[in-house]
Amino acid sequence: MTLLLQTCAACGAVQYPRRAVCRTCLSDRLEDRPQPAGATLLARAAICVSFNEDWASRLPVAAGTVLLDAGVQAIVLLEADPAAGARTTVRWQRDGEEPARLIATTMEEGA
């Protein structure tokens, strides 16, 4: 499985969040490329209070920090309650007009 992420065509460094120039070599030759979608869950939390009332009906929301195999960390929504240290698969979730979000699900055994 792959995950589309901004990547530097000059040095190969993956960028997240998206940048105007490469975080490593400062090149502006940045393009979206499929990267490995595997990640390790490093930390997790449960959002019980949100500053945006649009989230009220969805609380509590499980979120975490994953270290992507592609070499960057990301804050993601968690699906299926993985434990810290678990291997996960990360994908982009697009929900109508809302911004695309990263969502991590527990990696299947042998995946």
Partner 1 sequence: MTALGYHGVAVACPVTVRYARHSTQSAHWFIGRALADLLAASGIDKAAVDGLAVSSFTLGSDTTVALTEHFEMSPRWIEWLPTGGASGVIALRRAARAIQSGDANIIACIAGDTNDPASFADLIGNFSSFSSAAVHPYGAAGPNLPFALITDHYMRSYGAERADFGRIAVAQRANAQSNPNALFAGKPLDLETYLAARPVVPPLHLFDCVMPCAGAEAFLMMSEAMARQLGLGHATIRGSIERHNAYFADPVAVRGGWAMDRDDLYGQAEATPADMDCVQTYDDYPVIVAMQFEDLGFCNKGEAPALLRTHDLTIAGDLPHNTSGGQLSCGQAGAAGGFLPVVEALRQVTGQTLGDRVPDARLALASGYGMVNFDRCLCSAAVILEGWA
Q: How far is the CB of 15 from partner 1 (least distance, A)?
A: 11
Closest CA to 77 of 63, 88, 94, 95: 63
Q: Would you say 34 or 92 has its CB closer to partner 1? A: 92
Q: Would you say 52 or 109 has its CB closer to partner 1? A: 52
Start-end of H helices in 1-111: none
Q: Are strands 61-68 and 73-79 parallel, antiparallel or unpaired?
A: antiparallel
Q: How far is the CB of 95 from partner 1 (least distance, A)?
A: 10
Q: Are 66 and 35 in contact (CB under 8 A)?
A: no
Q: Binding partner 1 by CB under 8 A: which of 31, 48, 96, 110?
A: 48
Residue identified by tokens 């699906």 is: 79
The reply to whether 52 sits near partner 1 by the rule CB under 8 A is yes
Q: Are 23 and 79 in contact (CB under 8 A)?
A: no
Q: Would you say 17 or 110 has its CB closer to partner 1? A: 17
CA distances from 56 to 32, 65, 76, 91 (A): 33, 22, 18, 24
Q: Binding partner 1 by CB under 8 A: which of 75, 79, 87, 106?
A: 75
How many residues bind partner 1, per CB under 8 A?
Answer: 31
Q: Give contact residues for partner 1 (rule: CB under 8 A).
A: 16-18, 42-52, 54-55, 59, 61, 63-65, 67, 73-77, 84, 98-99, 101
